[in-house]
Amino acid sequence: MGTEGNNKSVKMRRKIVVAVGILIRKDGQVLMAKRPIGKISSGFWEFPGGKVKSGESLEHALQRELFEEVGVSVYSFFPWITRVMHQNGCDVILKFFRINMWRGKPVAREGQELEWQSPSEIEVNPVLPANHRVLKFLRLPSIYGISDATSLNSFVFSKKLDNAVKQGLRFIQVRDKKLPELERIALAKKVIEKCNRVGGIAIINSDFDLARRFNASGVHLSSALLKRQQSRPNFEWCGASCHDDKELQKAIDIDLDFVVYGPVLKTETHPESKPIGWTKFELKAKDFPIPIFAIGGLTKTMLERAQSIGGHGISMLRGAWS
């Protein structure tokens, strides 16, 4: 992403909105297309999609472009992230959609090459630069569990952790800041080992030293720590808790990989916090450039609702282990 320059030049920029469709198979692989000779950036790999026509909705543009380019009719899809590129005096606004259901087998209808790729092991090259971060974001699971050993006790939580991982949980944050130090260290070690065995992502809340000690996948910044942080911590994955516009912007400014935003609903753990509600969550999620998770009073049944309004997924404390 380039710099925007002065306000006058920003106002004069022409805006081009592009609907981008990410076809996701049940095995997690995504469809990528190689731009054919004669097009700008020919030879680069990207996701199918194209410009939104005047008066056309994003959803209609997505369906039209996917049919024209790869011959599929998409009918189950969710809005996701919005990325902006500055090219040749234009703001190119990329509106990404995740698509999990479609009719027809993808075929190259415009002379391009097509390949199914795993976001964690991309074999095609070169990839359009704007898509490198997008491919990383696709590796994030949609359920983000937060450890709850403090209220459950370490023994009970250990059993629930084993069961949750067996059922497919692959993204876990070690929080439990009130645990005795040795118990928290043991908890972190177990969560990291569990995640490593299944190819998951283990995150440590705010404790960089503990994360490095056991080679965690990354760190999660509390909102207080986020405010003090001047740059992105040196970990593969970095996320943060956000409760207002300033914190959301700070997460973008220091180039984090994801945020959790809420509380969306009233919570037992923070009864004094006023819920933002689904409407406000949607308002922030719809144009957000990085994955945003809903948090606060949620259950697994609310995942589709969060994703239908632009959320990457949901983050849960108690709900992740029930």
pLDDT of residue 261: 99
pLDDT of residue 271: 79
Identify whether residues 172 and 244 lie together within a single domain: yes
Residue 238 lies in a domain: yes
Identify whether residues 162 and 275 lie together within a single domain: yes
Residue 101 lies in a domain: yes
pLDDT band at 258 (very low <50, low <70, confident <90, very high): very high
Average pLDDT for residues 31-40, to the nearest whole number?
Answer: 91
Average pLDDT for residues 62-67, to the nearest whole number?
Answer: 98
pLDDT of residue 1: 33
pLDDT band at 11 (very low <50, low <70, confident <90, very high): low
Identify whether residues 288 and 213 lie together within a single domain: yes
pLDDT of residue 5: 41
pTM of this prediction exceeds 0.85: yes
Contact 154, 70 (CB under 8 A): no
Q: Using the 3D structure, point to which of 137, 172, 195 is the last residue of a domain.
A: 137
